[in-house]
Amino acid sequence: MVSNRIISFKDNNCIEYLDQHVGRMMEYYEEIFLENNWNEVTAHRLGVREEVVDLANRVAIVYHDVGKAFFQDTIVKGKGASYHEYFSVLILHKTFPLIVEHYGSLVNELFNAVAWSIIVHHLSLRRSIRNPLHVIIKPSIMPGSIRSRNLREDHAKALSAIIKSWLGVDVFVEPGVYQLDDLRKTPIAYSLDKFFKQYYSLALRITRVLIVTDTLAAQDLRCSRDYRVYVADIPRPKVLLDARRLVKEWLQG
């Protein structure tokens, strides 16, 4: 589907490509969630339109691993892409206005729900960081080799093609150097207090979609049957309270 394909996983001779992974996740999303009216129930409980829930889920699925494009050097060596989700949020931040422009039904603030879900869907694998929002508030806690990463032009074009293919939106993903410090400029960094009150319930549901579809797609495509849903990935209330406290301290400081 895409030239210069982005590798999302490699282990010996087993290679999974990002466009492949997203496509498989979409299949599971439609089979497990849409066919069982999950979005309809979610929309009714949260008081939002069903099409907004559906679009938020699809945006999260498409964007959740785009940050792996910054880590192709480590992925091809079988070392993975630790903390790629933060770079996924940076790409989302830069291209989200075009999604909002294309879909009038998607409100601007929905960025926070999708961004939160992308960040926390690997929470159980990030035990070295007690709260994943620490990185947004204090990027300096990250290793220097991760705080700044370069996106090649061919990989940027591949990401643009994947986003257009699955969301129908013409976006231009900019190549070049991306800094984790720029996370502090994203909506989720300066409007978390409002987010906790209005969008967390939706974010939690999007996170469930990501965990289930991501795990099942990996199980199909990564030459292994050992993958399972990480219940610990679903954020707990204490994570919310810690994040809220950190944001208040940051704003007051």
- pTM for the full model? 0.86
Residue ranges in 83-129 assigned as alpha helix (H): 84-102, 110-120
Q: What is the percent of the chain where pLDDT is above 90? A: 40
| pLDDT interval class at 119 (50, 70, 90) | confident
Angle 153-167/50-63 helices, nearest 10 degrees? Answer: 160
Where are the domains positioned within the chain?
A: 7-252
Which DSSP category does 234 fall into? S
Q: For residue 52, which phi and psi values (nearest 5 degrees)?
A: -70, -40
Please, which pLDDT band fits residue 93 given cuts at 50, 70 and 90?
A: very high
17-31: average pLDDT: 94
Over the stretch 146-186, which tens digit does the pLDDT of each residue have? Answer: 899 999 999 999 999 999 999 999 999 999 999 999 988 88
Tokens of 163: 């986003």
Question: Residue 57 — very low, low, confident or very high, per pLDDT cuts 50/70/90?
Answer: very high
User: What topology is assigned to 7-252 in CATH?
Assistant: Hypothetical protein af1432 (1.10.3210)
